[in-house]
Structure 1
Amino acid sequence: MDGGTLQNARTVEEVFKDFKGRRAGIIKALTTDVAEFFEQCDPEKENLCLYGLPNEQWKVTLPVDEVPPELPEPVLGINFARDGMQGKDWLALVAIHSDAWLLAVASYFGARLSIDKTNRKRLFNSIHDLPTIFEIVTGSAKKQAKEKSSVSNHIRNKSKSSTKARGSESAKYLKIMQPTDEDEGLDEEDEEEHGNTLCGECGENYAEDEFWICCDICETWFHGKCVKITPAMAEHIKQYKCPSCNNNNKKRARPYR
């Protein structure tokens, strides 16, 4: 039903990996796969649930038959409200319930694995470091990322000068590598500010050894993998536009709006 469980899990890291996989699946359903998700939530059908799967996929289906279920169940009947409210409000409501469900699943696994207080705190600190699905669906996570990007102007300027020194035509992307002589000039406060930068697509924090690219229009940072841009591709991009800015002027009819 749910694409796999943590029957053999023994560590906090495995529980967190399961959480992130399910979370990514739900985010996909409520953002990039909205049209398909909308179509599957037919109000004429029975009570439906949105499941996030550990393999970063999602599934709209009926709840399981066994009582009690193997896992806590998502909220029932999300399809009934689909046509009774504005599309964005419906998605936000589903996002709120999905956030609650993910925490319930993590708590369930934590209890089954007898995770002690210290490790339980570590698990939920890792979870709370991520923006909620509600924040991502409503756009507040992107807004926070833009606000934090202004705080990291100092680091961005350094990345530009570093890129130019390598002869690149693109001055808006940054790949984090092992510290160079220039990087050693960054103090701890700068590193902390950069570490708080969130990806405008997945909403996750900056991490070392990951390629990032910045949109020239909205100045939001993205993981290269989230927007399907590699370092080699970025070398030939004179002005990068993120998916949102690129589609900003395109009119597309969507039934869920």
Structure 2
Amino acid sequence: MDGGVRSNARSVEEVFRDFKGRRNGLIRALTSDVEEFFQRCDPEKENLCLYGFPSEQWEVNLPAEEVPPELPEPALGINFARDGMHEKDWLALVAVHSDAWLLSVVFYFGARFGFDKADRKRLFNMINEEPTIFEVVTGAAKKQLKDKSSASNNRSSNKSKPNPKTGKPSKGQAKNEDKRVDDDPDDIDDDDEDDDEHGDTLCGACGANYASDEFWICCDACERWFHGKCVKITPAKAEHIKQYKCPSCSNKRARP
């Protein structure tokens, strides 16, 4: 198993890119690939760990045999708790341990490459701008955004109605809008506020922030937004979907 230690990862930016790649892989395992992840965590097998790689891939595998290992090891034996807990609680627990592992890997690199106090602080601040895996998996990040939006804009929480000024799509519709120019200055201000709000929206698969030039779609079951590319939905396909369910919600329904 390749731990992903790279000889050129010697700057704060390089280590942060390594962190984001591993984080995206772990988020994918616990969201869009959750059915496959569930099956791989067989409680009948030995102690298993969830690894994330800089390439945004993930793997469930045995811990490294060498002592000490090349990198800090993830939580051991995540498979043993799979059938003894509610699935949501189990995934949340794995997410917490994954967050802890990511930080240990990041600061291992920081120590190995001789980061000083200023570099460590800058690296942590860059990491802290991203929601944790736990927040993405449990929907806490979205809830915080919704509460903030409700308090600041006093808008209706009913997602079934599109915004009449921006034409932004509603729940279950494709979120691929262009910013509209309006002759009314008040309308322009409202558009800016709405863009700011959507700019904090997080993809339920990769955890990245919303951008207006990307195609997004919302799950009618869990109400999380997803990049179209992350869930393999195109604008053309979205036009024919009456009620969209993300891979995670679809798999839960299909599971016996």
Shorter chain as denominator, the TM-score bin is: 0.7 to 0.9
Name the residue aligned to 1:16.
Answer: 16
TM-score norm. by structure 2 comes to 0.74
Name the residue aligned to 1:88.
Answer: 88
In the TM superposition, what is the alpha-carbon distance from 1:83 to its structure 2 partner? 2.5
What is the number of residues matched between the two proteins? 243
1:213 to 216, 239, 246: 216
Q: Which moved more, 1:15-24 or 1:220-229?
A: 220-229
Name the residue aligned to 1:168.
Answer: none
d(CA) in 1 for partners of 2:165, 2:76: 50
- For residues 206-229 of structure 1, the C-alpha deviation after alignment (integer angstroms, 9 at most, x for no partner) is 34x641435495875443333434
Name the residue aligned to 1:130.
Answer: 130
1:143 matched to 2:147? no
d(CA) in 2 for partners of 1:157, 1:241: 22
1:237 matched to 2:239? yes
In the TM superposition, what is the alpha-carbon distance from 1:93 to its structure 2 partner? 1.3
- For residues 103-157 of structure 1, the C-alpha deviation after alignment (integer angstroms, 9 at most, x for no partner) is 1101111121222333322222222222211222223234334445656769955
1:4 matched to 2:8? no
| Runs of at least 4 residues off by over 6 Å | 152-155, 179-182
d(CA) in 1 for partners of 2:139, 2:18: 24
**Secondary structure at the counterpart of residue 160 of structure 1:** coil
1:72 matched to 2:72? yes
- In structure 2, relative to structure 1, the CA distance for the partners of 1:116 and 1:220 (3 Å cut) is same
**Secondary structure at the counterpart of residue 124 of structure 1:** helix
- For residues 69-98 of structure 1, the C-alpha deviation after alignment (integer angstroms, 9 at most, x for no partner) is 110001111122223222222222111111
1:197 matched to 2:201? yes
What is the RMSD computed on CA atoms of the aligned residues? 3.9
Name the residue aligned to 2:230.
Answer: 226
d(CA) in 2 for partners of 1:216, 1:56: 23
Name the residue aligned to 1:251.
Answer: 253
1:159 matched to 2:166? yes
Name the residue aligned to 1:39.
Answer: 39
**Secondary structure at the counterpart of residue 60 of structure 1:** strand
Name the residue aligned to 2:115.
Answer: 115
- In structure 2, relative to structure 1, the CA distance for the partners of 1:189 and 1:96 (3 Å cut) is same
In the TM superposition, what is the alpha-carbon distance from 1:158 to its structure 2 partner? 4.2
Is contact 1:215-1:241 (8 Å) kept?
Answer: no
TM-score norm. by structure 1 comes to 0.74
Is contact 2:23-2:102 (8 Å) kept?
Answer: yes
In the TM superposition, what is the alpha-carbon distance from 1:240 to its structure 2 partner? 6.9
Name the residue aligned to 1:167.
Answer: none
Is contact 2:167-2:177 (8 Å) kept?
Answer: no
**Secondary structure at the counterpart of residue 159 of structure 1:** coil
- In structure 2, relative to structure 1, the CA distance for the partners of 1:189 and 1:181 (3 Å cut) is closer
Q: Any gaps of 5 or more consecutive residues in structure 2?
A: 157-161
d(CA) in 2 for partners of 1:239, 1:148: 30
- In structure 2, relative to structure 1, the CA distance for the partners of 1:216 and 1:36 (3 Å cut) is closer
Q: Percent identity?
A: 58
Structure 2 residue identity aligned to 1:202: C
d(CA) in 1 for partners of 2:72, 2:108: 8
